[in-house]
Amino acid sequence: MRSKRALIILPLSLILLILMGITSFTTPKKEIIGTWISQSDPDYKLEFSKDGICKYYYIGKEYKKCAYNISTAYDKNSEDSGLFLEMSDENGETLSYYELRDINESDDDVLVLGDVEKGEEYFYDKVLN
């Protein structure tokens, strides 16, 4: 009787661990939603919405709109691992890739985007409503 319980509990525990791992990758999308102001230029801001749209603003005026997607792969042939933010235009063409850094750290009010192509980091502060 006890061996049957172990056979049931072990697979259920494994499924639970797998589900916890999968959901941990989806939380950054929730964390990134909102308005972010550049630390280097406060006139520049990004606004991420739940529907996967990012709007760029400069001096309070929208000047660019694109789709965004968060994934664990930058390049299918690359061994890089982490979370990446892909920005694409209305035709689905990739505009840029950023590595999401510090999105789940203790300070949720700071977003760090690492430009994969340029090797630069951009820091943003979250606008709290």
pLDDT of residue 27 exceeding 70, the answer is no
Would you state the pLDDT for residue 79? 59
Q: Give the start-to-end residue ranges of the domains of the chain.
A: 2-126
How does the average pLDDT of the chain come out, rounded?
Answer: 80
Neighbour-count burial of 111, counting CB atoms closer than 10 A to its CB (0-12 exposed, 13-18 middle, 19+ buried): buried
Q: What is the pLDDT of residue 26?
A: 45
Q: Tokens at residue 19, please?
A: 């589900």
Look at residue 92 in the predicted model and tell me its pLDDT: 85
The dotted CATH code for 2-126 is 2.40.128
* pTM, full prediction: 0.70
Distance separating alpha carbons of residues 109 and 58, to the nearest angstrom: 20
Return d(Cα 80, Cα 114) in angstroms, integer. 13
pLDDT in tens, 50-96: 999 999 999 999 999 999 999 887 765 555 567 899 999 888 888 89
